[in-house]
Every structure is written in structure tokens, then in C-alpha cells.
Amino acid sequence: MSGRVLVVDDEPHVRLNYRVALETEGYDVVEANSGKAALEQLVDRRFGLAILDMRMPEMDGLELLARMRENKIGVPVVIVTAYSDVPHAVKAMKLGAIDFLQKPLRPEELRTLVADVFKRHAPQSWNGLGGAQDSFAAHITAARRALNLQAFAKARVHLVKAMELNPQSVEAFNLAGVLAELLQDFDKARKYYGQAIKLDKHYEPAQQNMRRLFEVHHCGSTDEPISLGEE
């Protein structure tokens, strides 16, 4: 996987901020000021990650992501959103984008997420984990990667393993909610997000996911016990 990052935003100062934040960590940053320019870059060069702003003129981040997938461009994507973009986030998730940064974002948040995505998509096999790799962290990483690749059955397997290793994991319950939401089981997604929040009310990813689920599908919260087993 390349260490090259494509930053797509129509505002020059935003692109500069991302560039400064990432180049200090050694990433090769390429800028695009529009969706059209981004597609040209993605066809001509290899990238390890694309950071897309949701709101851009002519072609927004969601349309760009859809065009990428139509053209079989499977580059991992991070979406930068505002709270009002919540309904669009659901569509982005269905296209394999499960990583979001909300405006205003801090440089350290950007660097942390970018590092996580590169680690997740490093060239290695997550099939048949064993030994030191058969760990909670390894299964969580594999589950995230599977969700990015829309390999939902594989994501379920790794999440089940992760929950067996750590039944009180906020992160595992949150990802289980993402999986359920992508499979359009919104009631189960609500329960998973609710359990994550019950375990840690300050875990912002689950809070954001629950808010999105409520806004789009008008789901409430729950304290009901749940499992990730087969239906």
C-alpha cells in the first residue's frame, strides 16, 4: 500500500492544513480541488488513501466516492463531514467508507485516523489468524478492513471473535452496529450502538452513529441484551 494520500477539497487553506498535518508524519500528499481533478489523479497514480470533503461544488464527496466505486477504484476513503451531512453518511457507508471526521477537526485526529487506515489496509492476510495475531486488536482491525471492502460475512466472523476475547469492548459493539446498519437491520444497529454507549457514554463514534440512526430512521435507544450470532 502506498504512503500517498489524496486530499480532495475545494478550499485551498483546508488542503494546506491537511498537507501540513500529514507531511510532518512522512506521508506523500497530493491535492485535488474538485471531484473531476480527483478522478484524474486516481486514474493516473496509486494512492493508499483518499480524504474527501462531503461538500464541494459540481461533484460532492459522495458522488465522487460513487464514481470511484463505479470505476473499480477501491482506494480506502475518509469522509470529512458536517453534522448536517448525516443522511449522506449512510450512503457513504454503503460504498465502503466507514471512517469519518467531523468539522472542525484537529490535526492529531486526522493523523491518528490516517495511520489507522494505512495499518488496516497493509498488505497482509487476515484469513485464519493464529498465534499472536489471533488477538482482539487483530480481529478489530480485520473487521474494519472487511467493512471497508464490503465483505460483511467476514466482518461478522472477526467481530464475533473480538467479542469473545473482550465481551465489554465499546469498539466492537460500535462496529457491530455499523455492520447491522449496512445490512439494513436498523433495530439491531440501534441496540449495538446503545450497548456501546451504555459501556462508555463518552465514546463519540457510537454517539455519532446513534444520532445519525435516529435522524435517518427515527430509532430510539435500548438497554436490551443482544448477541452477534447468526440469525
152: phi then psi, degrees, rounded to nearest 5: -70, -35
What is the rounded average pLDDT of the residues 182-196?
A: 94
User: Are both 4-120 and 131-217 of the same fold?
Assistant: no
List, edge to edge, every strand of the sheet that includes 99-102: 28-32, 4-8, 49-53, 77-81, 99-102
Confidence bin at 20 (pLDDT 50/70/90): very high
In the CATH scheme, what architecture does the domain 131-217 have? Alpha Horseshoe (1.25)
In CATH, what class is 4-120?
alpha beta
Predicted confidence band at 30 (pLDDT cuts at 50, 70, 90)? Answer: very high
User: How many whole angstroms separate alpha carbon 158 and alpha carbon 136?
Assistant: 9
Domain segments of the chain as ranges: 4-120, 131-217
Q: What mean pLDDT do residues 34-53 have? A: 95
Q: Return d(Cα 229, Cα 231) in angstroms, integer.
A: 6
What are 139-163's pLDDT values in tens digits?
A: 999 999 999 988 999 999 999 999 9
Cis peptide before 104 (omega within 30 of 0): yes
